[in-house]
Amino acid sequence: MSRAITGPNRAREYETIYILKPDIDADGADKIGTRLAEVVTREAGRLTKVESWGRRRLAYDIGKQRRGVYMYLKYLGGGKVVAEIERNLRLSDSVIKYQTVLVRSDVVVEGLEIAEEDVRFERLELTPIEEERDESRERQLGLVEPERREMRSQEVAAEPDEAEAEAGPEAPEEEEES
């Protein structure tokens, strides 16, 4: 990795995506967001975009979690900003995973206009977690019958018993021997 030094009034542009636990409340997400905003300003960086991508299914299970709340940050700064943001994300128990990528290495800071609404951490409004019924691999492959079929087979097995009970006196139960 090269150690290129940016000139005066220039900075590097980074983007960080971090994933929060799916059961996080709005206050916990706000706390992490404000902490990251403070880190960027304290380390002489500048936020350019903040987005909440909402709760999504993860590509693979991470720490027994199947879903996560995705957050996106785009900011200007140096390597110290990135190191401090990643340190704060690492220390937070609510963060499952994070990744930072260098987008551009030489950005003019002075001419850059940023809308106030783009850098505001919006309050996270998530619907309650639905208990998602993922099919097991055996069920997907058809090795195990779905529950519907099992219940149907129990109902079918119960129906002949009811039919015999209704038939009653017409059907002899035992033959008498003389």
Say what the pLDDT of residue 94 is: 93
Same domain, 76 and 33: yes
Euclidean distance between CA atoms 19 and 61, whole angstroms? 12
Same domain, 113 and 142: no
Note whether residue 176 is domain-resident. no
Asked whether residue 43 carries a pLDDT value surpassing 60, the answer given is: yes
pTM: 0.65
Residue 126, in any domain of the structure: no
The pLDDT score that the predictor gives to residue 32 is 93
What is the domain range of residue 151?
Answer: 137-166
If one counts the domains in the chain, the total is 2
Count Cα atoms within 13 angstroms, Cβ side, for 75.
Answer: 29
Instruction: Specify the pLDDT at position 10.
Output: 79
Q: What percent of the chain has pLDDT over 70?
A: 60
Residues 95 and 29: beta-carbon distance below 8 Å: no
Q: Do the domain assignments include residue 155?
A: yes
Listed residue (160, 158, 133, 135) closest to 145, CA to CA: 135
The pLDDT value given to residue 166: 55
- 93 exposed, middle or buried (CB, 10 Å; 0-12, 13-18, 19+)? exposed
pLDDT of the residue at 86: 94
Average pLDDT, whole number, for the chain?
77
What CATH number does the domain containing 70 carry? 3.30.70.60
Phi, psi at 126, each rounded to 5°:
-115, 145
What separation in angstroms does the CA of 142 have from each of 136, 146, 155? Answer: 10, 8, 21
Smallest CA-to-CA distance from 73 within 40, 28, 31 is with 40
- Write the pLDDT tens digit of every residue in 59-102: 999 888 999 999 999 999 888 999 999 999 999 999 999 999 99
Is residue 104 located within the same domain as residue 154? no
> Does one domain contain both 113 and 141?
no
**How many Cβ atoms from other residues are within 10 Å of residue 170's Cβ?**
6
Distance CA 88, CA 68 (A): 18
Average pLDDT over residues 157-170: 55
